[in-house]
Structure 1
């Protein structure tokens, strides 16, 4: 897209709001469903670790993962361990410890199968495993004394895997109790083993404690990060909402000055009609008096509303509201601030039509250009800027295009919240127009607004 402004005499056309031409897709919406979607993606990205934990302890691990294969992953891992541990436990108990084949298979199933339950209920799985592990050590005391005891290597592996699931789901107090039970049971069974056998009790104590501690720290760190991201997202939403409300109040204050002028004219004309127009009937005089009274009452109500809307620091702000006629002074002030800006109007034959622009459209056009120039000063100081004002059938066109900054200097504001665009959208929405904003491929930024000259009775929802 070219950054050159259209030549004078040709009314610039902003890109189609709906079709997304001219970089519409490159810029996310500030408000609406897209902003909520952005907030949700931020939360999901910041809490990638705690997605495995889930908000509800009855939910399976990774139950809130965005993809189906991720939700199935815990079951596949648990099923893999079960498929390996059951036959290995059966074979080792039968061949090395001399346990009956049927009993060895039952012990293997009781010690390994609960790993599938650990995906959704790890604490219940731990109760089953610890009982099965203790009962499974009884036949080992009558076997070969040179093999590991009281825990077989398969129990150690399965128990460590179960501790991972416990650490991702249970509280710190529960994990401490689980580890203390593991220590007590390991020491008690270790006192019954043959001294010539390899002691695996200390190994299980150390491994289980380390896994539980590391898993708890990672889970708590992930929860803290998730809460922090959620709080930042909520704070950003609140800031956007506060900016929106402040901008609406500002618009209401400005519209008061615009509407009050017209109401004052109506009052003066209605009051002076009996003196300007001769041969008025008594009914006509009464009608004009009623119109004047209604206009004065409306002005009184508007002033009461304005007293509520005006903040303390704007109580004395009674200057007339600016419009298109004041754009040249605005551009000159911007040039003095170090931004080379240029303002172009349409043909001279159309300049007269600008005087008939509705006050709300006139004020909205000025504020849009003002905010666009402020963004150039803040984020691209020194960038060449072109402001184009044109007429397109029944609409006023406002386009502000700036190129990239001439030098890679740091902007006055390194982080942009996009809250300035909130005011633009509110003003365009007020008059029922369209707004298109977005970066240029060659660098820079563009703001294009189409403001209908016939203002709707009520803004679109």
Structure 2
């Protein structure tokens, strides 16, 4: 058995036409305002009024002429009926239900007048003349695109009941046009209501997807902040432990300390120990998800070489340029730089598994610069993940923001991607307000 052939892609012209008509179709199915109120162009928003005006003028003149010439109805009655049956079509663009009530009453009055006052009904459509049928179906279109199911069902049943009543009233003059209008109006209402409900469902789906995307982004941001807080705990705890030890040992290391200084050092040590206790409580909350692997010592730039080697073993041709004279790097910057390289290389493995990649870490007296650049994929291979969770870039931005640095990410002209981070090697200095 031969494999199924894929369907040919649509032509560019058909695809362009579909994209151009999609906003118009969405506006047509929108049931929150006048017809095509949400169309992107002004002439599209005015089109329903122009069409309704054209139908109203055409039906008004046609109805009056037919009632006078074919049904031999008096000119005054004919003009009044034509106006009552055609003019409300202008109202149908914004208030279709009110327009239907006016037309429905006018159609019933017209049928009664034709039965009692018309000179000639032989061979003529009754109770609904042809112009009445056309105008009524146009009203059904407007109703179906705006009103709920119960209203549409009531309108359809009222149409059938009126036709049945006239059929029972005078079977001699009835030619079955009431049954035709009953069927056609039901079909039109069903089709237009289905279009409207489909549009409403799509709009609700888009709104829900937007809300879900915002919630997902917020959740991802909070997860990354919690993860960074857990990782920085060891850095902060180390400094607090050093403060505690120095404060406790100061009276023994320094001879001749006055009692006030000894008490001050004791207070500093007690405050540092209390801070450590509070940090451990906070860390217990952050680790409430049961992640035990985070208790290992936090990595730094000394392990970037291992990251690159693991990436090469995964099939990515990566190379590292690490400055030999980095000098002292603050622990938070050291950890952030390592994580930025780790997340950038993970993204390369996921989305461009065979792209050549270069990692560069350099430093000057004030800034540490981390640059990860990958080229385009050299072979037609499928990425390991078609869509990411968004944690990578969010985590990078949070780490850079935490250290007071800058981050620049984005695609390259050749199809690759670049991640550039500048992290300060010294805390920002603040001027003395005095």
Normalising to structure 2: TM-score of the pair?
Answer: 0.86
Closer, same or farther in 2 for the Cα pair 1:299/1:111, shift >3 Å? same
Q: Is the 8 A contact 1:344 1:387 kept in 2?
A: yes
Matches within 5 A, 1:288-367: 288-315=265-292, 317-346=294-323, 348=324, 351-353=325-327, 355=328, 357-367=329-339
Q: Distance in 1 between matches of 2:141 and 2:42?
A: 22
Closer, same or farther in 2 for the Cα pair 1:183/1:352, shift >3 Å? closer
CA shift, 1:276, in A, is 1.9
CA shift, 1:173, in A, is 2.0
From 77, 85, 88, give the equivalent of 2:62: 88
Q: Is the 8 A contact 1:389 1:397 kept in 2?
A: yes
Q: Which residue of 2 aligns with 1:425?
A: 397
Post-superposition CA distance 1:225-269 (Å, at most 9, x none): 322333333223222222111111101111111111111111111
From 358, 365, 374, give the equivalent of 2:346: 374
Closer, same or farther in 2 for the Cα pair 1:425/1:160, shift >3 Å? same
After the TM superposition, list the runs of 4 or more consecutive aligned residues in structure 1 that deviate by more than 6 angstroms. Answer: 45-48
Q: Which residue of 2 aligns with 1:411?
A: 383
CA shift, 1:113, in A, is 1.6
CA shift, 1:186, in A, is 1.6
Unaligned runs of 5+ in 2: 1-20
Post-superposition CA distance 1:51-110 (Å, at most 9, x none): 445465xx3233344444343333222222212221222222222222233322221111
Matched, 1:121 2:101: no
Q: Distance in 2 between matches of 1:392 and 1:140?
A: 98
Q: Distance in 2 between matches of 1:117 and 1:267?
A: 82
Q: Is the 8 A contact 1:47 1:222 kept in 2?
A: no
Q: Which residue of 2 aligns with 1:203?
A: 180
CA shift, 1:291, in A, is 1.3
Closer, same or farther in 2 for the Cα pair 1:456/1:147, shift >3 Å? farther
Q: Which residue of 1 aligns with 2:227?
A: 250
Closer, same or farther in 2 for the Cα pair 1:108/1:419, shift >3 Å? farther
Q: Which residue of 2 aligns with 1:217?
A: 194
CA shift, 1:164, in A, is 1.0
Matched, 1:453 2:419: no
Q: Distance in 2 between matches of 1:212 and 1:334?
A: 62
Q: Distance in 2 between matches of 1:411 and 1:386?
A: 19
From 276, 286, 306, give the equivalent of 2:253: 276
Q: Distance in 2 between matches of 1:313 and 1:326?
A: 26
Closer, same or farther in 2 for the Cα pair 1:244/1:457, shift >3 Å? farther
Q: Which residue of 2 aligns with 1:160?
A: 137
Q: Distance in 1 between matches of 2:174 and 2:367?
A: 92
Q: Is the 8 A contact 2:316 2:355 kept in 1?
A: yes
Post-superposition CA distance 1:171-204 (Å, at most 9, x none): 2122112111111112222445575775422221
Post-superposition CA distance 1:134-192 (Å, at most 9, x none): 11223333243223222122211111111111111222122112111111112222445
SS in 1 for 2:186: helix
Matched, 1:437 2:414: no
SS in 2 for 1:169: coil
From 125, 150, 153, give the equivalent of 1:173: 150
Closer, same or farther in 2 for the Cα pair 1:455/1:167, shift >3 Å? farther
Q: Which residue of 2 aligns with 1:399?
A: 371
Deviation larger for 380-389 or 77-86 = 77-86
From 24, 30, 45, give the equivalent of 1:71: 45
Q: Distance in 1 between matches of 2:347 and 2:231?
A: 21
Q: Distance in 1 between matches of 2:314 and 2:38?
A: 52
Q: Which residue of 2 aligns with 1:34?
A: none
Q: Distance in 2 between matches of 1:395 and 1:239?
A: 33
Post-superposition CA distance 1:372-400 (Å, at most 9, x none): 11111111112111111223663322221
Q: Distance in 2 between matches of 1:323 and 1:105?
A: 91
SS in 1 for 2:362: strand
Normalising to structure 1: TM-score of the pair?
Answer: 0.82
SS in 1 for 2:71: coil
Q: Is the 8 A contact 1:341 1:387 kept in 2?
A: yes
Deviation larger for 67-76 or 269-278 = 67-76
Matched, 1:98 2:75: no
Q: Distance in 2 between matches of 1:67 and 1:367?
A: 49
Unaligned runs of 5+ in 1: 1-44
Q: Is the 8 A contact 2:31 2:196 kept in 1?
A: no
Number of residue-to-residue matches in the alignment: 407
Q: Is the 8 A contact 2:64 2:78 kept in 1?
A: yes
Structure with the bigger RCO (C-alpha within 8 Å, sep 6+) is 1
Matched, 1:233 2:205: no
Matches within 5 A, 1:255-270: 255-270=232-247
